[in-house]
Amino acid sequence: TQITGSVVVSYSDVQGGYSGTGNIDADPLFADTVNYYLTDPVSPAIDAGNPDPAYNDPEDSHRLGFACWPALGELRNDMGAYGGPGVICNDSVLVAIDDELPESVPSAFKLAQNYPNPFNPSTTIEFTLPEAAMVKLTIYNALGQEVATLVNGWMNAGTHQTTWEAGNLPSGIYFYRLSNSPLGMGAEGNVQTRKMLLMK
């Protein structure tokens, strides 16, 4: 038995390109190697799926007109593993407020002073996130030039630590800057910057 037919590919990101309605050939900008199915908030795949409203992402009840996470952007579905009407949004109802938060859940966005400081050649940087967010932790020299990016991706709420190895850099003052985008929409939310001293 011989079976013949044709394949229709549309609203897809195809490496090398493929003829079809809405197809693109672009780097999808996946968040990272662990969360490869999530896209960066500036991915060309966001809001690039089939524009028929039947395929729209569910609406975030707290941000009308925007898709609920893990879909990103507005209501038009995204190309990729998430998006469309099959996405389930867990919308919780607040029934009580406890004045005392458990110690395991930070109540504020905070960038702590590195330790040790001064340091040679490595130092530890600690920060807390009260909610899951896209996070970026970047190191700059005294001229404002970026010299390292220690964190750039989605992180859960909690206290986090990272170590910076600066053995290949000269002595001097460096700045470290932490920013987040709690809704994963690309716009910065909180930003904090601190100073540290590398002494060799």
Average pLDDT, the chain: 76
The single-letter code of the amino acid at 146 is E
**Quick one: how far is CA 103 from the chain centroid?**
25
Set out the domains of the chain in order of their start, with CATH numbers.
Answer: 11-95 (no CATH), 110-198 (2.60.40.2550)
Residue 112: per-residue pLDDT: 94
Q: What is the pLDDT of residues 82-110, one digit of tens each?
A: 555 555 554 444 455 555 555 566 778 89
Beta-ladder partners of 148: 139
- Is the pLDDT at 142 greater than 70? The verdict is yes
Give the model's confidence band at 75: pLDDT under 50 very low, under 70 low, under 90 confident, else very high. Answer: low
Beta-ladder partners of 61: none
Compare 133 and 187 and report the one with higher pLDDT.
133
Q: What is the pLDDT of residues 15-52, one digit of tens each?
A: 888 888 888 888 777 655 555 555 566 677 777 777 77
Contact assessment for residue 43 and residue 28, using Cβ atoms and an 8 Å cutoff? yes
